[in-house]
């Protein structure tokens, strides 16, 4: 069975066609600048040359059609007809409080995605357009919505409530939802298997450290807390996002600089984090290069990044009254041995000891703790597309 995975952003569309017989990627690609001048499709069929098509894409519907054409193209394609695609799995940002699992799309599901436009204003509209474009391009083929917020739905009230007047929760659903859920679910599940832990009781902390970064705590595969909140702004220091900040900071800067709250949120989302602190870049590798060259702000930014993670791991070990395994994933978590080491050096009180040689690994599943470490620490590459494809397969087969 072949499953197409689609991830629509506001002006982009990423895709992968996966053969579920052996979970191999047949083709993957990206449409960029949808609805903007200079649209381009980059298609990478496995075992064939990359194919780049510069062609106007007025909207996501046109982009989906170009992806279909590329997949069946006699030269660059990997299938004879789109009839070979059994189902489409869509990454959907926000499912509100309605969905704690993936679901086959029908009119009710589309209504929920629409009802959550206010909660995910950049992503949910694009996600819905992507679904409707696939419905039009492949009538009768099931579409599955895989929600980024679903994993966080098992959090208990004490973890997801903000201590603000209850009426805002009742009226608007203001609470913590958590994001990167597909990755946290996938990585925590794989970590339990890899460490040979009891799947019913295992206490696992997943550090998803990429340009966006979040951390989750789960017991028996169910999320009990996670660092992102109503939006993906809360929690860790990220590439451009501040993570946790005293809300009074917004009022103070607004008053001093004559800004409004929307401008401030833009600053917290796009100009803060590693970029704002270092003044160098949002990309961790650039900040590290500057640190090595003696840039003090770059050094401070990276120390803030590590320190916030160390605090969250401590908080989550406390929240679960223990931790069996810690898994590092995403761009930084999978590749950056120095950051993993400085985080682990800050949590030795948990009985953690790291095998320095094993920790030098990049992008590869590997145990990095020593045999006598009380907590198993590992690198566990995330694969959100495969996770979406597996969840889609489970619903449609
Ligand atoms: P992601 O959002 O998961 O793609 O991760 C992006 C972040 O991972 C950026 O800050 C990159 O600098 C970082 N990253 C990616 N590859 C590496 C690498 N080989 N070594 C260190 N950091 C990396």
Q: Could you give all domains of the chain from N- to C-terminal order, each with its CATH number?
A: 2-147 (3.30.420.40), 198-384 (3.30.420.40)
Helix 248-257 crosses helix 261-270 at what angle (to 10 degrees)? Answer: 110
Predicted confidence at residue 121, as pLDDT, reads: 84
Predicted confidence at residue 390, as pLDDT, reads: 96
Predicted confidence at residue 120, as pLDDT, reads: 86
Residue 161, number of CB atoms within 10 A of its CB: 14
Predicted confidence at residue 364, as pLDDT, reads: 87
Q: Residue 314 in contact with residue 192, Cβ under 8 Å?
A: no
Residue 237, number of CB atoms within 10 A of its CB: 23
Helix (H, G, I), strand (E, B) or coil at 267: helix
Distance of CA 299 to the CA centre of its chain: 26
The alpha carbon dihedral of 140, 142, 143, 149 has a sign of positive
Using the 8-state DSSP alphabet, how is residue 369 labeled? B
Q: Residue 43 in contact with residue 50, Cβ under 8 Å?
A: yes
> Rounded to an integer, what distance in angstroms lies between the CA atom of residue 29 and that of residue 161?
39
Q: Which two tokens mark 116? A: 């959550």
Distance 239 CA to ligand 1 centre (A): 10
Distance 302 CA to ligand 1 centre (A): 14
pLDDT digits (tens, 9 = 90+) for 175-220: 999 999 999 999 999 999 999 999 999 999 999 999 999 999 999 9
Q: Is 115 a catalytic residue?
A: no
Q: Identify the burial level of 84 via C-beta atoms within 10 angstroms of its C-beta, where 0-12 means exposed, 13-18 middle and 19 or more buried.
A: middle
Q: How many CA atoms lie within 13 A of 2 on its CB side?
A: 17
For the chain, state the CA radius of gyration: 21
Atom number in ligand 1 closest to CA 330? 3
> Rounded to an integer, what distance in angstroms lies between the CA atom of residue 138 and that of residue 82?
8
Q: Which two tokens mark 122? A: 């950049």
Predicted confidence at residue 9, as pLDDT, reads: 84
Distance 337 CA to ligand 1 centre (A): 12
Predicted confidence at residue 363, as pLDDT, reads: 83
- What residues does ligand 1 touch, defined as CB less than 6 Å away? 210-211, 239, 283-285, 330-332, 335-336, 362
Predicted confidence at residue 388, as pLDDT, reads: 97
Helix (H, G, I), strand (E, B) or coil at 389: helix
Closest residue by Cα to atom 8, ligand 1, is: 331
State in Å, rounded, how far the first CA of the chain is from the last one: 9
Helix 124-137 crosses helix 107-115 at what angle (to 10 degrees)? Answer: 160
Distance of CA 125 to the CA centre of its chain: 18
Q: Residue 73 in contact with residue 126, Cβ under 8 Å?
A: no
Residues 6+ apart with CB under 8 A from 118: none
Distance of CA 244 to the CA centre of its chain: 18
Predicted confidence at residue 58, as pLDDT, reads: 93
Closest residue by Cα to atom 16, ligand 1, is: 331
> Rounded to an integer, what distance in angstroms lies between the CA atom of residue 274 and that of residue 336?
15
Residue in 96, 82, 229, 102 with CA at minimum distance from that of residue 173? 96
Atom number in ligand 1 closest to CA 336? 21
Distance 281 CA to ligand 1 centre (A): 12
Q: How many CA atoms lie within 13 A of 286 on its CB side?
A: 10
Q: Residue 48 in contact with residue 66, Cβ under 8 Å?
A: no
Q: Residue 27 in contact with residue 19, Cβ under 8 Å?
A: no
Distance of CA 232 to the CA centre of its chain: 10
The catalytic residue among 118, 148, 266, 306 is 148
DSSP string, 59-83: SHHHHHHHHHHHHH-TTT-S-S-GG
- Residues in the chain predicted with pLDDT less than 70, given as ranges, are none
Give CA separation, 189 vs 134, 143, 202, 330, in Å: 30, 24, 10, 15
Beta strands in the chain (DSSP E): 2-8, 13-19, 24-32, 40-45, 51-54, 85-92, 103-104, 143-147, 203-209, 213-219, 222-226, 325-329, 366-367, 376-379
């Amino acid at each position: 069975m072949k499953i197409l995975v689609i991830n629509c952003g506001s002006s982009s569309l990423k895709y992968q066609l996966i053969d579920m017989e052996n979970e191999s990627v047949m083709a993957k690609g990206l449409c960029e600048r949808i609805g903007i001048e200079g649209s381009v499709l980059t298609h990478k069929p496995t075992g064939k040359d990359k194919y780049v098509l510069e062609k106007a894409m007025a909207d996501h519907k046109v982009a989906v059609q170009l992806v279909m054409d590329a997949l069946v193209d006699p030269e660059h394609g990997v299938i004879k007809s789109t009839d070979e695609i059994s189902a489409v799995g869509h990454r959907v940002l926000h499912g509100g409080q309605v969905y704690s699992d993936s679901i086959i799309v029908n009119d009710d599901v589309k209504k929920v995605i629409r009802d959550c436009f206010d909660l995910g204003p950049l992503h949910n509209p694009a996600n819905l357009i992507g679904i409707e474009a696939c419905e039009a391009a492949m009538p009768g083929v099931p579409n599955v919505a895989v929600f980024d917020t679903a994993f966080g739905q098992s959090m208990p009230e004490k973890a997801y409530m903000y201590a603000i007047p209850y009426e805002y929760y009742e009226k608007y659903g203001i609470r913590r939802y958590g994001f990167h859920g597909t990755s946290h679910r996938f990585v925590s599940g794989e970590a339990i298997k890899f460490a040979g832990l009891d799947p019913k009781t295992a206490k696992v902390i997943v550090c998803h450290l990429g340009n966006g970064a979040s951390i989750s705590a789960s017991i028996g595969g169910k999320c009990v807390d996670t660092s992102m909140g109503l939006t993906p702004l809360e929690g860790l220091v990220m590439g451009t996002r501040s993570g946790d900040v005293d809300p009074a900071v917004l009022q103070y800067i607004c008053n001093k600089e004559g800004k409004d709250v929307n401008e401030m949120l833009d600053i917290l989302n796009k100009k803060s984090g590693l970029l704002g602190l270092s003044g160098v870049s949002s990309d961790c590798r650039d900040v590290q290069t500057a640190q090595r060259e003696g840039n003090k702000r770059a050094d401070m930014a990276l120390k803030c990044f590590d320190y916030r993670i160390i605090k969250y791991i401590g908080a989550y070990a406390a929240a679960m009254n223990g931790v069996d395994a810690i898994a590092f994933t995403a761009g930084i978590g999978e590749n950056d041995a120095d950051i993993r080491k400085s985080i682990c050096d800050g949590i030795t009180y948990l009985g953690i000891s790291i095998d320095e040689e094993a920790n030098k690994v990049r992008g590869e599943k590997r145990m990095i703790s020593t045999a006598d470490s009380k907590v198993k620490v590992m690198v566990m590459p995330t694969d959100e597309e495969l996770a979406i494809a597996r969840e889609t397969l489970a619903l449609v087969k």
